[in-house]
Amino acid sequence: MTTPFCLGHPSHTLLPEESICRICGALAAHTVIGVYEVQKLLGTGKSGYAYLAQHQRSGQPVALKLFPPQAAQTELWEAARREVRIATSLRHPSILSVFSCNTWSPEQKMSSSGIQDRYQTLSNMYLLTLCQYIPGSLKHFVTYLQQAENQRALREHGTSVKALLLHVLQQIGSAVQAAHARGIVHGALLPGNILFTSYERAWVADFGLGRLQPPPAPYLPPELYAAAQASQQGNFQAYWNMANPASDQYMFAVLCQQLFSQTLHSTDYEPFLPVLNRAMHLKPERRYPALSLLVQDLLTLSTQASGIRPAQSPRPAPGNQGNQKNYPLTPPASLPPVNPRGPAGNSGSGGPRSSGVTPLPAFASGPLTPALPATPLTPTMSLTAEDWEKRGDKLFTMHDYEEALKAYHRAVEVNWNNAHTWLALGDTYFALERHKEALMAYEQAMYLNPNDAQIWLNRGAILDVLGRHQEALDCYERADQLQSA
């Protein structure tokens, strides 16, 4: 008899009757759940584990996600299951299909028809989802775009990295907007939830499930910081209730900013920064009324900058999703090459289409979405981020912390990507004894510049105030390492 072993890292042997490892919580290899056999671990996250599983008869691969028991979180599972069903019923071409979302226990006897939907003891009950398996990740997509030969092939094909990026972002934005229209908030628009079947075909995963856990910085919007803190203390309902379309918009804008900075020259994406800064405004009411307007402005700016109309995502007829042509995406070394001979189309012999970029209808561009009326925080005068930061520094030295806070907020609004400004913002919150906001600002600064000893020192100080002394000691130790390097 073969000795069972778990799929965690590092893998280790299990007792014959164990299907879930008591040490790391990973499933045993070849565990059978319903009609699916677990093959390998795909990844881990704050919520649980994701596995590749295979239908025992047809061989169909699926992604299996397992959310471990948490008494506070199980109360939300029924609400999450309802949202999963609604999101799947939209049949949107960029929303990942979920086949099943039910509760499961390792001792539960499974029927050949699937997972039984019945509750046992909550201490041993898991939330288990089966969804369409998509092999490509956002990391694969970015790596593909960063390769010079692929950039050259795209140019020869009559398109560009920027146009392809906007095409993909339009798909993601369309999926999220469609969910918002049905009252569903994603809550975790992270790189791990963006998947690809080809370099021009994106999917958004975890609708209905993303809100079970807050995202990390820099994706966490400022207005949800208190709710994220509450979830760390076991109150998951707080984040579930407070996540909203404006917070999804903030995460989407952060995702856009990271994609642009990783794949485009600064001169190519700088025109987009005012749009992204508006979408990442610290005050939710100052963001776009809807995410679709943010996408519209990105596309309009691209048209104005290049004179080339961005591609529009194809929208198949309802019910025909399964008939779409998708070019498979595997790790970068074996991604399908762009057809160097010209636009994709007939091969000349009546054969199948080549794997080049599909020509898509032009997008009707228009004027930018009008800005919201100016407020005292956002005066109509045009100042640079450096101007606002200098004004904040002067006000801070005068101990006018409230006005300094407004100036630093404006500096961040103009240029979100400056770690020194976030550090100053954190110091101001600290001076006002708004400790949770100070920690949020320091963490944003640390994300932007993880090698600044002063940021680590200040973060340690605020953690000490909040009573998180061991974390504070870790920060001080890291600061010492950076100062002595």
* Tens-place pLDDT, residues 321-354: 333 333 334 333 333 333 322 323 333 333 333 3
The rounded percent of the chain whose pLDDT value lies above 70 is 78
pLDDT confidence bin for 306, thresholds 50/70/90: low
Q: Residue 406 annotated as binding?
A: no
- List residues bridging with 55 in a β-sheet: 36
The position carrying tokens 């591609």 is 311
Predicted confidence at residue 414, as pLDDT, reads 80
Give the separation between CA 281 and CA 294, rounded to whole angstroms.
13
- Does residue 196 contact residue 134 with C-beta atoms inside 8 Å? yes
Residues 474 and 326: their CA atoms lie apart, in Å, by 47
- CATH architecture for segment(s) 136-315: Orthogonal Bundle (1.10)
Q: Which two tokens stand for residue 9?
A: 């890292």
Instruction: Tell me the residue type at 177.
Output: Q
Q: What's the topology of domain 385-484?
A: 1.25.40
In three-state secondary structure terms, 416 is coil
For 236-272, write each residue's pLDDT tens digit. 899 999 999 999 999 999 999 999 999 999 889 889 9
pLDDT of residue 290: 93
Output the average pLDDT for the chain.
Answer: 79
Taking the mean position of all CA atoms in its chain, how far away is CA 407? Answer: 29
Residue 72 has what pLDDT?
A: 59
**More reliable by pLDDT, 94 or 336:** 94
> What is the rounded average pLDDT of the residues 111-131?
60
In the chain, CATH 3.30.200.20 covers 35-132
Q: What's the average model confidence in pLDDT over 364-372?
A: 51
Question: Which pLDDT tens digit goes with each residue over 389-445?
Answer: 999 998 998 888 899 998 998 888 788 788 999 999 999 999 998 888 888 889 888
pLDDT score, position 368: 61
CA separation for the pair 220, 222 (Å, rounded)? 6
CATH 1.10.510.10 residue ranges of the chain are 136-315
386 or 316, higher pLDDT: 386
Domain with CATH 1.25.40.10 in the chain: 385-484
20-64 pLDDT, tens digit each = 777 777 888 888 888 889 988 888 776 678 899 998 888 889 999
CA 109 from chain centre, in angstroms, equals 35
Q: Which of 74 and 373 is assigned the larger pLDDT?
A: 74
CATH topology of domain 35-132: Phosphorylase Kinase; domain 1 (3.30.200)
Q: What secondary structure does DSSP assign to 12-76, as a single string?
A: -B--TT-SB-TTT-PBBTT-EETTEEEEEEEEE-SS-EEEEEEETTT--EEEEEEEPP-HHHHHH
* Mean pLDDT (whole number) for 99-123: 58
Please indicate whether residue 335 or residue 278 has the higher confidence score (pLDDT): 278
What backbone phi and psi angles, to 5 degrees, belong to 32?
A: -105, 120
Which token pair is 322? 């399964």
- Within 10 angstroms of residue 395's Cβ, the number of other Cβ atoms is 19
User: Which DSSP string do the residues of 352-383 spell out, in sequence order?
Assistant: PPPSSPPP-PBP---PPPPPPPPBTTB-SS--
> Most confidently modeled of 59-63, 188-192, 466-470?
188-192
User: pLDDT class for 130, splitting at 50, 70, 90?
Assistant: very high
pLDDT at 370: 62
- Between CA 106 and CA 113, with CA 111 as vertex, the angle to 5 degrees is 125
- Total length of the chain: 485
Decide: 161 and 145 in contact? Cβ < 8 Å: yes
- % pLDDT > 90, the chain: 37
